Amino acid sequence: MNFKDYLKKKHYQSSTISQFEKHLGLFFDWLLENDYTAEQLTYTRLLDFITFSREKGKTPENMNRMLKSIETWYQYKGSVNPVKGLRIKGTKQSLPVNLLTKEELTDLYITYQPTDNRTQRNKRILSLLIYQAITNEELHTLKPEYIKLREGKIYIPKTATGKERILNLEANQILELQEYLTTIRPQMLAQVTKQRPGRKPPTINHEMIIDKLFFSENGSPNLKNSLQHLFKALQKINPKIENLTQIRQSVITQWLREKDLRMTQYMAGHGHVMSTERYKRADTEDLSQALQHYHPLK
């Protein structure tokens, strides 16, 4: 198994894999220039590489991404990993901003009215964003069998950035997802299979889309364009809407107001509790800004 296949098996997205390959290219070029092999990398030499990267104008955030790529490569090789756990200090974790209220999220879901199979599919995607705070990566990994209608639950598998979990479905989701699985999705599959003018059959991977819970009208498992259409429609309902991440962050912040930290960590699929705690800081900061706005210090 080569490194690229290893990363795919670990559920990394193609953009992340490309970034890993770019970082490793820079790292191996540095090794070659200094007459080192990867097996000869020591902690001291690693610090030299960090110094070299800093002199090239790399920010702490850039260098930490590079270190992550190099660390993953050593994990793939199964050899001694001199990079394990090493990160550059001085990076700041951004806090969620421009969050939506629970009322705004609910209004968004109620107001969005589907008119055809494509928008019916989008309505189900929107429900998973608002009620389960699903990520873009997780959305692409969902399979029909992950929807447990009898139990009223959904299984969200592990990805490169999120932990696996089983979450409850809302009552209205159960009925809508049942209709999607039994009627809407089969109709979309039939339409994709049907030959239409201008369609290039080799571009449609039937086996892949049959395995996906959601797919595009054109037979692609990639939902990028579908999500763009969805968010354009949502912005007409509420101009504050920005992207999928904003909705997810808003939902997680709301969860923290209603549930304890560990439960929210599990529901969000966070690997580290610190990732969840930053939403508390964001909520506190929003409150402070509101108080300052309405009750400024004289």
pLDDT value of residue 269: 94
Cα 142 from chain centroid (whole Å): 13
Which of the two residues, 296 and 220, has the higher pLDDT score?
220
Residue 288's pLDDT band, with cuts at 50, 70 and 90, is: very low
More confident residue, 255 or 202: 255
* CATH 1.10.520 is the classification of domain 3-77: no
pLDDT at 291: 35
Domain boundaries, the chain: 3-77, 102-290
So what's the pLDDT on residue 140?
92
Query: Is 0.85 topped by the overall pTM?
Result: no
> What pLDDT, on a 0 to 100 scale, did the predictor assign at position 96?
66
Which long-range contacts (C-beta less than 8 Å, at least 24 apart) are formed by 237-244? 237/107, 237/108, 237/111, 237/112, 238/100, 238/104, 238/107, 238/108, 240/98, 240/100, 240/104, 241/100, 241/108, 242/98, 244/129, 244/135, 244/136
Q: What is the pLDDT of residues 12-33, one digit of tens each?
A: 888 888 899 999 999 999 999 8
- The superfamily (CATH) of domain 102-290 is Intergrase catalytic core (1.10.443.10)
DSSP per-residue codes, 180-237: IIIIIHHHHHHHHHS--TT--GGG--HHHHHT-S---TTS-S--HHHHHHHHHHHHHH
